[in-house]
Structure 1
Amino acid sequence: MKNLFFFDSMITPKIITFIYWLLLVSAVVSGLSFMFGGYSGMTFGSFIGGLLIVAGGALGARVWCELLIVLFKINSNLQKLSDSSQ
């Protein structure tokens, strides 16, 4: 508990993991609703578009979350380097 109150331990990477899974689920749901939604008829373009939404959303969510995690890894490594030099 002390680590949490004095910012020795970061909780944001755990939150980012949760947000990644939420973004992934939303990309799949959005893509499926685009593919099989109640539009003016099922067309091949809407099916391909839905697949692109799923793939692009999953890739975009992954890249965004990885970039955020990299920042926290850099912070962790800098703290280790600082502790070892003292």
Structure 2
Amino acid sequence: MLKSFLNFDEMITPKIITIIYWLGIIGVVIGGLMAIGTSITFGGSILAGLFSGLCTIVFGVIGVRISCELIILSFNIYGKLREIAENTAVK
């Protein structure tokens, strides 16, 4: 196990992406709720604050999901290319 880790035969980033995804979702939701709360606290338009907070949450969650999927996609492509290379190697 240590040898495969040190030789980069096993990737740890795909496992870490799940944690990063959930931390990103939590951060986006907190940021959206803070946008709503800030608008209400500082006497801005409640409707505008609610709209901006909800947009932050919706588009932020989508953005976090897309970015994590792109990272996972690159590792899936790497895995498939490695599989192809092993199957087509001259023996």
TM > 0.5: yes
- Aligned-pair RMSD on alpha carbons? 1.3
1:31-71 CA-to-partner distances (Å, cap 9, x unmatched) read 01111232215611101110000001100000011111111
Rg (Cα) greater in structure: 2
Map of 2:23 onto structure 1:
22
Map of 1:77 onto structure 2:
80
Q: What is the rounded CA distance, in whole Å, between the counterparts of 1:23 and 1:39 in structure 2?
A: 26
Give the C-alpha shift of residue 17 in structure 1. 1.8
Q: What is the rounded CA distance, in whole Å, between the counterparts of 2:53 and 2:22 in structure 1?
A: 19
Give the C-alpha shift of residue 24 in structure 1. 0.7
Q: What letter corresponds to residue 62 of structure 1 in structure 2?
A: R
Q: Is the 8 A contact 1:27 1:58 kept in 2?
A: yes
> How many correspondences in the alignment?
86
Q: What letter corresponds to residue 49 of structure 1 in structure 2?
A: S
Q: What is the rounded CA distance, in whole Å, between the counterparts of 1:5 and 1:13 in structure 2?
A: 16
Q: What letter corresponds to residue 46 of structure 1 in structure 2?
A: G
Identity across the alignment (%): 36
Which of 43, 63, 66 matches 1:63?
66
Q: What is the rounded CA distance, in whole Å, between the counterparts of 1:48 and 1:67 in structure 2?
A: 28
Map of 2:11 onto structure 1:
10
Structure 2 residues not aligned, in runs of 5+: none
Give the C-alpha shift of residue 22 in structure 1. 1.2
Give the C-alpha shift of residue 79 in structure 1. 0.6
